[in-house]
Structure 1
Amino acid sequence: MGKISTNETKLKQRHNPLLKDISTAGGNLRTKSSNKKKSTRTDQFDDEKQDGYLDAQSSRKILQLAKEQQEELEEEEENINKPSFIESFKQQDQSEGEDEDEDEEYSDLEEEEYVIDEEEIEVDEKDAELFNKYFQNNGTNNGGINLADRIMAKIQEKEQLQNLPNESIERPQDAVLLPPKVIMAYEKIGQILKTYTHGKLPKLFKILPSLKNWQDVLFVTNPEQWSNNAVYEATKLFVSNLTANESQKFIEGVLLERFRNCIQDSDDHSLNYHLYRALKKSLYKPGAFFKGFLIPLVDNFCTVREATIAASILNKVSIPVLHSSVALTQLLQKDFTPATTVFIRILIEKKYALPYQTLDELVFYFMRFRNDSSMDVDQTNEQQPQLPVVWHKAFLAFAQRYKNDITDDQRDFLLDTVKQRFHHAIGPEIRRELLAGKPRINPEQKQDGIMIDAF
């Protein structure tokens, strides 16, 4: 079949133009639906109408409309039977009047019963007093305390009674109460430091030097049970981060006790290597070391063994001149003991340029042994030296280093001391050194005050 030309299709029109339909009297309306589905639905609806049945959707709508109409009718009937506002108000007044009459009857009965009960019941005096205390003012504060205040007062009294057993325990004046969490945390740190050998310290322990009450918290960790390695690490931490006065407290409270206990408990009376290093680190603050370790050690019956070990630390560490001179001056003013003489000798052998005041104290220290029989160690045996060898060695060290820094009068007194406290091996050396020295020039003769007393 051949193709239909486009001209032929254009000539054929599907329907009349709209203008023609409007111009006609009735117009041309479509009687059949173009959609097949719509036609089938309308056909079914027509069939149902013919049969006398309705579909579900239409039946629901009809029922809903019937329900709404029934509700409207019921509302109208209620409005007709409802009394007016005035009638309802009158009914309310009548009901209230009846209630009042009933209340009066019941109140009369209650009063009669209450009068009878008053004759039978007896109130105790204590109960009456309590009643008057709490209810006399009717809950007001006019001339008294109300019930709420009395209840709060009773609660406070109960709390105080609960705290009495704790307060009754006698506590030292310096006691400080720490939070329970802090105590638990630092007790665990104390257990860690008890077995510590190497590695980083706990962070909670590192912040101790920054606390104001670090001594109280440190006591919770039981420093007596720390390992020697932990003591060394703690000494570095505290001495480097605390001031001189605070470092003195740590050295005296921790290092001094560990030093003495370690020497006493060891079999050969030696000091642990880590504690020895800790004491060397503590000399980073020399003032704290002398005030917190050396002077308390001398004052508390220091043995020669302890003095020898501590003096070896002083010998290996460089100490500022002023600190050494002050420490030497304080040692010279102490009572004579062999341990004190050991420290004096070590500080002299460091060969510092000591101030003249300290040199004069040294001269007076050795001069006071001339005619003092109380200094004798063994008075029964005249063949043995009366003073220990340590004293003669200290005297020799002073003569060798400072023979040119003493005056002629001081030299003569020292030679007299050598004669009275003579040692067969050391005495001749001391005399030779003193005689070889030159007299000291007075500070007034020195130019422009080049050598000035440090004090």
Structure 2
Amino acid sequence: MPKVKRARGSGGAGATGNVSLAEQIIQSDSVKPITRVKRRGKAGKQGGGDGDTDDYVDEKLSRRILEQARIQQEELEAEHGPAGGDEPKKRTTVLGPVSKDGDSDDDDDEWPSLERAAALEKGECCEEVTVNPEDEKAIEMFMNKNPPVRRTLADIIMEKITEKQTEVETVMSEISGCLMPQLNPRVLEVYKGVREVLSKYRSGKLPKAFKIIPALSNWEQILYITEPETWTAAAMYQATRIFSSNLKERMAQRFYNLVLLPRIRDDIAEYKRLNFHLYMALKKALFKPGAWFKGILLPLCESGTCTLREAIIIGSILTKCSIPVLHSGAAMLKIAEMEYSGANSIFLRLLIDKKYALPFRVVDALVFHFLSFRADQRTLPVLWHQCFLTFVQRYKEDLSSEQKEALLELLKCHSHAQISPEIRRELVNSKCRDVEGMQPVAMD
């Protein structure tokens, strides 16, 4: 009888050479369990013994460890208070859907930067502006006593609706514009829902129905349905972003003048400071500088009712933002030709301080602006003298000899104890634009 071979893969006491052929056939047809244990990591590859352990902790055990650590930390804080003696951090709640990364699921990347910028600029634009009562009284002396009635978007829409009702359907006047069509009830229902969202908006996505308003031909009528006076400050900022980017300059000017400016003035009058989101809306509106000047700054100066606090807050936008020279020069030209008010001196001084290379036409307009006060018998505020000094310091080389002589004569009519000697020194020790190589005029 031949030698019996050991069955392959079999082990234990039964795997001996004394097993009969019949038992070997039966064992080969049956399925045997595999007792091999897989090893992960470097230990398994190196063929460690049974005493080797794995280099990782499974997910369930990690979760339990972290949970127990958190419970212990809460117990310690409850007994001894938080570490360092500081107050426990308050959890902040983000309204709106949250993504997996923990950030607000907004479609724009600018909202998180608003929160970071708020920490940096809160002290600049959100704190109450301290105003000297004497300066405020001096400014009020030059304000318009009978200011024009301020028109809002609601007033203009209601006026158009009244015109439509009184006009004959067959006659369409080209002067008054086209008749306003009746809105679909479903459209009215949608934008009334948008109004409710904007009146409670804090952060997150805006309704898509609101984002398409700039593309509509009757966008003013649709905007009136949403009642802009009930929007939150955050909603006003987001609306300014959308309208400044998508509207043409003429239409953006109307939005600034009819919606943004009244809201800003009301906020300053009520809280004695400007909300951070409204301040950022003012900065974002400068995306269209022409519309910003025509819709916000120039109407504010023309009203004659701009307070010192409003001029300081809105003027800070001019200091922080970069503005093209042509737009600034045109604004300076318009302000110089207006009837004087104290706020005009603030805006002019801030624009002059940007050190533009102005055309001679603008420089001449500023000279005539100051010379127009020769016959004025009122005591001019310090703001006027400060603006005069800033103009002379920046553009003394761009003045003609006749203009310098006229400005020196002006100092005899309106003088200030500390500022006027400095103005005289700047005028005397400077060259003229119409005389080459002219020596400075000796001071008397």
> Is 1:426 aligned to residue 419 of structure 2?
yes
Superposed CA RMSD in Å reads 2.1
- Distance in 2 between the 1:398 and 1:251 partners? 29
Residue aligning to 1:410: 403
Partner of 2:327: 323
- Relative to structure 1, is the Cα distance of residues 171 and 265 closer, same or farther in structure 2, using a 3 angstrom cutoff? farther
* Structure 1 residue 371 displacement after superposition: 2.7
CA distance in 2, matches of 1:168, 1:285: 32
1:391 aligns with 2:396: no
Pair 1:222-2:227 in alignment: yes
**For residue 412 of structure 1, what is the amino acid of its counterpart?**
E
2:312 is aligned to 308
Q: Greater share of helix residues, 1 or 2?
A: 1
Gaps spanning 5+ residues in structure 1: where?
A: 1-165, 377-385, 446-455
**Selected match of 2:207 from 202, 207, 212:** 202
Structure-2 separation of matches of 1:171 and 1:305: 43
Q: Distance in 2 between matches of 1:203 and 1:412?
A: 62
In structure 2, what is the Cα distance between the partners aligned to 1:286 and 1:167? Answer: 33
| Shift in alpha-carbon separation, 1:350–1:168, aligned structure 2, 3 A | closer
Provide the residue aligned with 1:348 in structure 2.
Answer: 352
Distance in 2 between residues matched to 1:399 and 1:360, nearest whole Å: 12
Identity of aligned residues (%): 47
How far apart, in 2, do the equivalents of 1:421 and 1:278 lie? 39
Q: Secondary structure of the residue that 1:439 maps to in structure 2? A: coil
Which amino acid in the other structure matches residue 369 of structure 1?
Answer: F
Query: What are the superposed Cα offsets for residues 217-268 of structure 1, whole Å, 9 maximum, x if unpaired?
Result: 11100010000000001101110111111111111111011011101111xx
AA matched with 2:326: L
- Determine which structure has greater relative contact order: mean sequence separation of CA pairs < 8 Å that are 6+ residues apart, divided by chain length: 2
- Contact in 2 for aligned 1:176/1:216 (Cα 8 Å): no
Once the 2 structures are TM-superposed, how far is the Cα of residue 175 of structure 1 from its aligned partner? 5.0
Structure 2: which 5+ runs fail to align?
1-160, 168-175, 437-444
CA contact (8 A) 1:187 1:220 kept: yes
- Corresponding residue for 1:280? 283
Counterpart-to-counterpart distance in 1, 2:162 and 2:339: 45
1:439 aligns with 2:432: yes
Deviation string 1:150-201 (CA, Å, 9 cap, x unpaired) is xxxxxxxxxxxxxxxx999956976542111111100110110111011111
The offset of 1:205, in angstroms, is: 0.7
Q: Which residue matches 2:104?
A: none
Taking structure 1 as reference, are residues 168 and 226 closer, same or farther at Cα in structure 2, changes over 3 Å only?
Answer: closer
Could you tell me which of 206, 214, 217 is aligned with 1:212?
A: 217
Q: For the residues of structure 2 that align with 1:225 and 1:408, how far apart are their CA atoms?
A: 56
Q: Which runs of 4+ in 1 moved over 6 A?
A: 166-169, 171-174
Q: Is residue 199–residue 231 contact of structure 2 (8 Å, CA) maintained in 1?
A: yes
Q: 2: CA distance between counterparts of 1:214 and 1:360?
A: 41
The count of aligned residue pairs is 265
Aligned: 1:259 with 2:264: yes
Rounded to whole Å, the distance in 2 between the matches of 1:302 and 1:418 is 27
> Post-superposition shift, 1:441?
3.9
Asked if 1 retains the 8 angstrom alpha-carbon contact of 2:200 and 2:232, the reply is yes
Aligned residue for 1:404, secondary structure, equals helix
**Amino acid in structure 2 at the alignment position of 1:248:** Q
Query: What is the CA distance between 1:419 and its match in structure 2?
Result: 2.0
